Structure formats: C-alpha cells, structure tokens
Homo-oligomer: A and B are copies of this chain.
Amino acid sequence: MTETVRARRTRERVGSGPKQMPWRRVENSFRPLEVLSAEQIERIHIASLKLLSDFGLEFQNDEALGILAAGGAQVDMGTRMVRFPSDVVEHFIAQAPATAEVYSWNPEKRIGVGGTEIAFGTVGGPPNCSDLERGRRPGTYRDQCDLIRLEQSLNVIHFCGGAPVEAIDLPADTRHLDTAFAFLTLTDRPFFGRAIGATRIADAMAMAAIARGVDVSALSTQPAIMSVISVNSPRRVDQEMANGLMQLVRARQPAIVTPFTLQGAMSPVTLAGALVQQNAEALGVLAFAQMVNPGAPVVYGGFTSNVDMRSGAPAFGTPEYARAAIAGGQLARRYRLPYRTSNVNASNAVDAQAAYESEMSLWAAVIGGGNLIHHGAGWLEGGLCASFEKMVLDAEMMQMMAEFVRPVVIDDAEIGLSAHEEVAAGGHFFGSAHTLERFETAFYQPMVSDWRNYEAWKEAGSIDATRRAHLIWKELLANYQAPPLDIARKEALVEYVARRKAEIAKTGLD
C-alpha cells in the first residue's frame, strides 16, 4: 500500500467510532442451496397433508374452532381436534401473499419480507442478560433499554425481534407497553409484538400508529408489527396464541407461524419426521390464518433442531439444525411464502462454540433462502440469555453475510487486464491505477475482527474478540443518539402508556 493511501485510511478511522457498514436492505444474489430433491419435497408435502387430514391439530380456542369449521375443516368440538382436508389446506395457503413490506415510523427503514430479501433481527424473549463486566443476571427494564439502544446502534439490524431481555422488574401485565415505548422512542426499526392474547398486539399497533402519526387503520396496508405465533408442538395451538394470531391477521400484520419441532422431544427423532410435522403445523395454522382474513401477510417459520442425547436439553446450530433450516426454506418456497429462520446456539459463554454454532445457523439461514433471520443478534444459552458482547459479534457475522450475498460483477473494468501491463511477473498491485481507483471501497471492513500481526496485537494487550466486542458495545452506547421521533408523538405515546396502565390496573389485561 502506498504511504498516501495508508495515511488517508488512518485519518478516516480516527474518532469515527466502531466501523460499520451503512444500513441497507439486503438482497440474496444467489440461488439457495438445496438439501432435498424435488421428489423429497413432494413426499414431505404429501405426508404433511396426511398428518393434517388423519391426525389434525388441536385448537384450544372456541372462536378459532368456529372459523375452522366454517372454512371446511372437520372440527371435533369435544376434543378440539381439527382435521384439515387437503384441498382446504391447499385452497387457503394459496391465498397468502408471497411478499410483504413492514414499516417503522421512519419511512427510510421499511423492510421487505419474502422474495430474495434478507432482513436481520435481534434476539427476543430471554429472561436473563449478561455482559463481561456485570455478569449474568435476570433482565431489567434498564438492561432492556440498553440492549434496544444497542440494536439501534448496529446498522445491520433490520428489525427488533421482541424484548431483547424480559424486564423482570416491571409488572407482567403492562410491561409490553414499556417495551413498545422503548422500541418506538429508542429505535427507528420495525419491531415484534407479543402475540399472547390479542391485547398486547392491539397496544403495539396503537402505539406504532401514534409514532407514525396515522390512524391505526393505516397499518392494514402498511404493517408495523410482526409477531411470532408459536405452535405448541406437537400439534397444539393454545387459547392465547390463537387470539393473538386472529388479532394480527385481522389487522393484516405479518404473522410468523413457527412450530418448535425439536427432534426427539416435540417431534419425531428423525429429520424427515420433524420436517413433516413442522410443515403440517405451519400449513394448518397458516390455512387457519387465511380463513380469518384471506390475503393477510403471513410467514412460514421453521425452528427444527435436536435435543442433546445425554440430557434431553435442546441443542442449536447443530448439523441437524442446519439441514432442517435449509429444508425449511425449500418448503416455504414450495408454497411461495416468506421464510423465517434463526441464528441460534446453545453455548453458555461468548466463546468459540457460540461463534461456530451461530455460524452453522447463520450460513444455513442465508444460503437456505431465509427472509427473516430472527434472533440474529444477541442470543446465547439456547435463548435463555441475551449477551451484550454476543450482539456485537453477531452483528459482525451478519454484516459479513450481507457482504457475501452481494451480486458478483464480472466485466472488463473489474477484470482489469490492463493492471497486468503495470505489474510485472512477481510484482505487486498495491500501487497500480486499477487498485488505487478501487481501494477505498473494495473490501469489507470489519468491526470486531483484528487482522494485525501477532506482535502488534500482543503489544496492544492481547485483547480477544469477545473483549473487543465488549469495548465496542460500550463505545456504541456512549455514542448512542436517539432517532428523531417527533416530540408531540413521543408525548402522545407517554400519554397512551399512562392511560393503558391505569386501565389495566382497573380491569386487568384481557
């Protein structure tokens, strides 16, 4: 490298905070990897339909049972078991749109769901959080807000995947209001609501509309709130999830229907058996969603992994997980549906295991055609803990994948045969015109990775990647600036939260 270029680069980095790629929507330029043949996909499809028609799903919700019966399913009101004729499933699944867009109050931060777009999200739902300084602890609202500030500070994050840590210090029946308030005032990204019952989703929608300065009805064409609808695998949809789902799809907010098919525990031990069950549960619930509101945006969620054979504990980022995640993408595309998958691991420390299990998940997610990468940043301990350091490391890994999937340009200018006129055999290209014209933007610049030689790295204190991630999140939080939400809207949000808390105190959360 010439001294000039080196000097320029050094100047650029001084005082600029941790280096990041800018926020952008990410398109996957490559045809997804396939682990199943077309014939195998059809076998899974047919077996799923058979599981739905012969065994069926349990819906613990009378309103849902009525809708299912009216839609053509065979409903046993005694056992609440619902058997789905195959033509009914196929008819309703075909109503679902292939893509959707989701909006935050900042119009520049809207994202696409489906097609070839990849959106990276953050961890949702852990009861604990940890960092190198303060250790592991139950989450508080302060931790939650700090993690949400960190989400906003990381440019690769497209959506906030629900409370990054539960605010255990707040009352359970109103904390969803505080969390939505944090998302809307501390970030300008779309966020996940919690679909346990209808009320939490309704509150999140009302607050998103206030932040956007529109009537809540406007959200039906420009959705704001995504939410995961978990199936209680095997084959059960509980009362509250059914209510949450109905609330979501009636308002045309994207419902991400996700069976949790843990091989050997909540599903058969085999990949084939787990995929058939995952597919049956997803199709049955998605068909129900389309009965509730045909054409409402929905997402096919896959979350098949395996248990630890020794303890029965869930494992993540395993070879089985990676195969299932890629197969799930193939199934979602079979039905022309957006696909949600995850970046997960089972490590207890932010160490090499956390990184390699996450990479197993993340590669499978990206090359498998994942659209929403849920739990993309911060997930640790099989989802029981959100780690500040892991969130930064995950952001680096996701940035790398975003770079990886860019289109490759092969043209005469890029090939640059002329550069060889300048550089003799055995020479170097540091100073060639072809290099100098492109050097500044040619390569991915890492946020966490340290590429200095060993001596320089040792001289600087032998700081490993996890400790570098620690320094980076502290710097990000120190430099954090809240996005410019209109002050009147913020005040209206404060009022809304106060009013709803009073109402819930009086009548309870229904």
Residues of A bordering B, CB below 8 Å:
1, 6, 9-10, 13, 29-31, 33-36, 40, 43-44, 47, 50-51, 54-55, 57-58, 81, 136, 232, 234-236, 263-273, 275-277, 306-313, 315, 318-320, 322-323, 327, 346-360, 363, 367, 381-382, 384-385, 393, 396-397, 400-401, 403-404, 408-411, 414-417, 419-420, 423-430, 432, 434-435, 438-440, 442-446, 448-454, 457-458, 462, 464-466, 469
* Residue contact A454 to B348, C-beta cutoff 8 Å: yes
* Residue contact B349 to A462, C-beta cutoff 8 Å: yes
* Residue contact B309 to A439, C-beta cutoff 8 Å: yes
Q: Which residue in B10, B311, B397, B425 is a CB contact (below 8 Å) of A310?
A: B10
Whole-angstrom distance from the CB of A247 to the nearest CB of chain B? 23
**6 closest residue pairs by CB, A with B:** A359-B359, A319-B403, A272-B414, A355-B355, A58-B425, A353-B465
Whole-angstrom distance from the CB of A150 to the nearest CB of chain B? 17
Residue pairs across A and B with Cβ atoms less than 8 A apart, 26 shown, are: A47-B415, A234-B425, A234-B429, A235-B425, A235-B426, A266-B428, A267-B429, A269-B434, A271-B414, A272-B409, A272-B414, A272-B415, A273-B414, A273-B415, A277-B420, A309-B443, A309-B445, A312-B430, A318-B444, A319-B400, A352-B448, A353-B355, A353-B465, A355-B359, A363-B363, A363-B367
Q: How far is the CA of A377 from the CA of B275 in the complex (A)?
A: 33
Contacts of A40 in B (CB 8 A): 408, 410
Q: Which residue in B58, B382, B404, B426 is a CB contact (below 8 Å) of A232?
A: B426
* Residue contact B6 to A264, C-beta cutoff 8 Å: no
Q: How far is the CA of A383 from the CA of B411 in the complex (A)?
A: 32
Contacts of A309 in B (CB 8 A): 1, 9, 439-440, 442-443, 445
Q: How far is the CA of A51 from the CA of B420 in the complex (A)?
A: 8
Q: How far is the CA of A20 from the CA of B470 in the complex (A)?
A: 34
* Residue contact B349 to A464, C-beta cutoff 8 Å: yes
Q: How far is the CA of A429 from the CA of B304 in the complex (A)?
A: 14
* Residue contact B306 to A410, C-beta cutoff 8 Å: no
Contacts of A465 in B (CB 8 A): 347, 349, 351-354
Contacts of A428 in B (CB 8 A): 234, 265-266
Closest to A1 in B: B312
* Residue contact B319 to A444, C-beta cutoff 8 Å: yes
* Residue contact A269 to B438, C-beta cutoff 8 Å: yes
Contacts of A318 in B (CB 8 A): 400, 443-444, 446
Contacts of A435 in B (CB 8 A): 264, 268-269
Q: How far is the CA of A307 from the CA of B44 in the complex (A)?
A: 46
Contacts of A266 in B (CB 8 A): 428-429
Contacts of A320 in B (CB 8 A): 403, 443-444
Whole-angstrom distance from the CB of A367 to the nearest CB of chain B? 6
Q: Which residue in B312, B315, B427, B438 is a CB contact (below 8 Å) of A270?
A: B438
* Residue contact B30 to A30, C-beta cutoff 8 Å: no
Whole-angstrom distance from the CB of A265 to the nearest CB of chain B? 6
Q: How far is the CA of A13 from the CA of B306 in the complex (A)?
A: 19
Contacts of A356 in B (CB 8 A): 355-356, 358-359, 393, 396-397, 400
Whole-angstrom distance from the CB of A377 to the nearest CB of chain B? 13
Given contact pairs A353-B448, A385-B454, A268 touches B416 in the complex (Cβ within 8 A): yes
Contacts of A265 in B (CB 8 A): 428-430
Contacts of A439 in B (CB 8 A): 264, 269, 309
* Residue contact A306 to B270, C-beta cutoff 8 Å: no
Contacts of A34 in B (CB 8 A): 30-31
Given contact pairs A33-B367, A351-B351, A410-B40, A429 touches B269 in the complex (Cβ within 8 A): yes
Q: Which residue in B35, B420, B427 is a CB contact (below 8 Å) of A408?
A: B35
Q: How far is the CA of A58 from the CA of B424 in the complex (A)?
A: 9
* Residue contact A352 to B393, C-beta cutoff 8 Å: yes
* Residue contact A351 to B426, C-beta cutoff 8 Å: no
* Residue contact B353 to A454, C-beta cutoff 8 Å: no
Q: How far is the CA of A318 from the CA of B469 in the complex (A)?
A: 18
* Residue contact B450 to A353, C-beta cutoff 8 Å: yes
Closest to A404 in B: B319
Q: How far is the CA of A151 from the CA of B444 in the complex (A)?
A: 34
Contacts of A429 in B (CB 8 A): 234, 264-269
